[in-house]
Amino acid sequence: MRQFRFARSYTRPLSLAAVVLAVLAVAGVWPETVGGQSREETLVIARDIDDVVTNDPSRTFEWTSQIPTHAAYDTLLQIEPPDIAQIRPKLATKWEISPEGTTYTFQLRPGVKFSSGNPLTAQDVKFSLLRLKNMKDNPSFLVGDIKEIVVVSDTTVKIVLTAPNASFLGILAGGVTTGVIDSKTVMAHGGTDAENAKDVDKATEWLNQNSVGSGPYVLRGWTKNVELVMERNPHYWGPRPKFARIVFRHVKSGSTQREMLERGDVDIAMDFDPDLAAKVKGNPKIKVVEGLTSNQIYMGLNVSPEISKELSDKRVRQAIAYAIDYDGIIQGLMRGAADRPPGMIPLGLLGVDKAMNRKQDVNKAKALLKEAGYPGGFTVRFTYYEGLLGTPAEAIAAKIQSDLAAVGIRATLDRKERTVAWSEYRSSKSVMILSGWSPDYLDPDPYADAYYKAGGVVPKRVNWENSRATELTLMARKEQDPKKRAAFYRDIQQIGLDEVPHIMLLQPKNFVGVAPAIKGYVIHPIWFVGLEHLSR
């Protein structure tokens, strides 16, 4: 074959390629023309926000949604760490509880305006809570106990419950969806608080893109899986919010978030895990903020003999609980980034005392197994799934498998897709499962209800019923005296430690990467961060 001379024959395609490459190169190294002022006044947060499905405060229940909902809609009361057992005033400055514990009267802060400019009155409080109840969506259960709401005056509102509920103040303080919305504006967009709101309310579409609360920031737009934008509320009653604009940018992976933070493209990276936090230690461009969450990682043990003959014996379940190397999991697998309460109520809440914690005792575990008639151990299916509130589920499951092997129990690891594992667990068919829980609001009652009361979310899944624990839960719910309440919760946890329908493994810490210039970042167990505290 003849030789071709390159220069003559191929100049056309090659020069075309060269031009294109040059254009690409120029665009690639184009100098950044940042409007300095707007970048300075804009806070950019990188976070995995694909869980957001709605911004209607009567419908949201997703993790990310707690942040903008909290920032846009003030609640009557609030809770701020570190003391998460103390209820503080917010829109309500004073409150009174009737002796029988069913009537709550709130005095509202005078002169508060919504972002629309409308004044906030008792009528708006009534509208907001009733709409939340009647929308019959995920967060509606929070206010399921409300019988009626009476507007006494513009600044006084009375809420009557169907039965005494000592956790009601906790609901109003920690449930961000109980925030107050501007009834006039919402009604103008088709909203209603009527009993059939779930069928006739038309305001969700508008509330997905806008907000009308009295909080420091206003929702300005949301594009699913892309971004959520908030702006300063000019009518805010508190100190002027520091940022003109806050952008939540959807970035799924923590390590990408870290790169963007280090490059200065974002100010906050919310999805750090213990490994990443350890990696950036000493990095001058990243400040790591940590704080204890109220999330829980636990094991559920099915007590039904139809599901597992072995696990239906209390002694076997106790043996499993004694076999686990709790400190090894927290120190080794979590790099110390977790703590552990004794039972299923998180640390920091009423009646929780680490002195009650169970300690690993291999000999006791072996003795219990022998007593139960399984000196040689047995085989059990252990289900787990990835995506367990940011913890290394696979490693934890494998560690427990080896701990159990040390006492003769052969756990076969059963990894399932999260959705599949959940379905099986919810239909009460999992044998032994590694699972998690994140808080609805900060009070022991929802935990007692979900883990200890007969028919509660978890007891139902593990086929466990205990009449004393149920009775204590109901008594604690009615009790107004915190000391007596705390004693009830201690007894409840003790029953759980003895019966072992579930084993508390750890309460993880949360890590956030923050640019050194950003001040005021404090991790909140419910709404992750109060945007009003942040400044540059």
Partner 1 sequence: MRLLRYLGRRLALAVVSLFGIVLVAFLVAHMVPADPLAIVLSDQATKDPSIRAAYVKRWGLDRSLPEQFGHYLLNVLRGDLGESFTTRRPVLRDLAQHLPATIELSLAALAFSVVIGVPLGIFAAVRHNRVPDHAARVISLVGAASPIFWTGLLALYLFYYRLNWFPGPGRLEPYLQYPLPVTGFILLDSLLAGNAETFRSGLRHLLLPGMVLGWFIMGIIARTTRAALLEILSADYVRTARSKGLGERTVVGSHALRNALIPVVTVTGLAFASVMSGAVLTETVFAWPGIGRYAVTASTHLDYPAILGVTILTAVIYVIVNLVVDTLYGVLDPRIRVE
What is the footprint of partner 1 within residues 127-166 (CB under 8 A)? 136-141, 144
Q: Which stretch binds partner 1 (CB under 8 A): 183-191, 371-379, 421-429, 500-508?
A: 421-429
Residue 198 structure tokens: 């779930």
Nearer to partner 1, 330 or 450 (CB): 450
Q: Binders of partner 1 among 280-319, rule CB under 8 A? A: none
The answer to whether residue 450 forms part of the interface with partner 1 (CB under 8 A) is yes
Residues near 479 by beta carbon (within 8 Å), at least 6 away in sequence: 166, 485, 488
Amino acid identity of residue 369, one-letter, is: L
Amino acid identity of residue 476, one-letter, is: A
Least distance (Å) between residue 392 CB and partner 1:
18
Nearer to partner 1, 134 or 183 (CB): 134
Q: In this structure, are residues 505 and 294 in contact, taking their beta carbons and an 8 Å threshold?
A: no
Q: Binders of partner 1 among 238-277, rule CB under 8 A? A: 247, 249-253, 256, 259-260, 262-263, 265-266
The answer to whether residue 358 forms part of the interface with partner 1 (CB under 8 A) is no
Distance CA 179, CA 163 (A): 22
Q: Binders of partner 1 among 452-471, rule CB under 8 A? A: 457
Work out which of 113, 160, 209, 227 binds partner 1, going by CB under 8 A.
227
At what angle are helices 314-323 and 482-499 packed, to 10 degrees? Answer: 100
Per residue in 180-219, is it b (16+ CB within 10 Å) or e — as a string?
A: bbbbbbbeeeebbbeeebeeebebbebbbebbbbbbbbbb
Distance CA 302, CA 310 (A): 10
Nearer to partner 1, 152 or 420 (CB): 420
The answer to whether residue 414 forms part of the interface with partner 1 (CB under 8 A) is no
Nearer to partner 1, 96 or 417 (CB): 417
Least distance (Å) between residue 520 CB and partner 1:
19
Q: Binders of partner 1 among 159-218, rule CB under 8 A? A: 198
Q: Which stretch binds partner 1 (CB under 8 A): 29-37, 73-81, 307-315, 318-326?
A: 29-37
Nearer to partner 1, 313 or 440 (CB): 440
x/- letters, 43..72, toward partner 1 (CB under 8 A): -x-x---x--xx------x-----------
Nearer to partner 1, 223 or 402 (CB): 223
Nearer to partner 1, 184 or 250 (CB): 250
x/- letters, 364..403, toward partner 1 (CB under 8 A): -----------------------x----------------
The CA-based angle 444-448-452, given to 5 degrees, is 160
The CA-based angle 385-388-391, given to 5 degrees, is 115
By DSSP bridging, strand 156-161 and strand 77-78 are unpaired
- The beta strand positions in 308-364, using DSSP E, are 338-339
Q: Which stretch binds partner 1 (CB under 8 A): 167-175, 350-358, 423-431, 516-524?
A: 423-431
Q: Which stretch binds partner 1 (CB under 8 A): 35-43, 320-328, 347-355, 481-489?
A: 35-43
CB atoms within 10 A of CB 488: 22
Distance CA 233, CA 214 (A): 8
Q: In this structure, are residues 383 and 419 in contact, taking their beta carbons and an 8 Å threshold?
A: no
Amino acid identity of residue 337, one-letter, is: A
Q: How many residues bind partner 1 (CB under 8 A)?
A: 76
Q: How many residues does the chain have?
A: 536
Least distance (Å) between residue 420 CB and partner 1:
4
Residue whose C-alpha is closest to residue 470's, from 444, 450, 484, 441: 450
Q: Which residues pair with 288 in a beta bridge?
A: 513
Residue 528 structure tokens: 């992750």
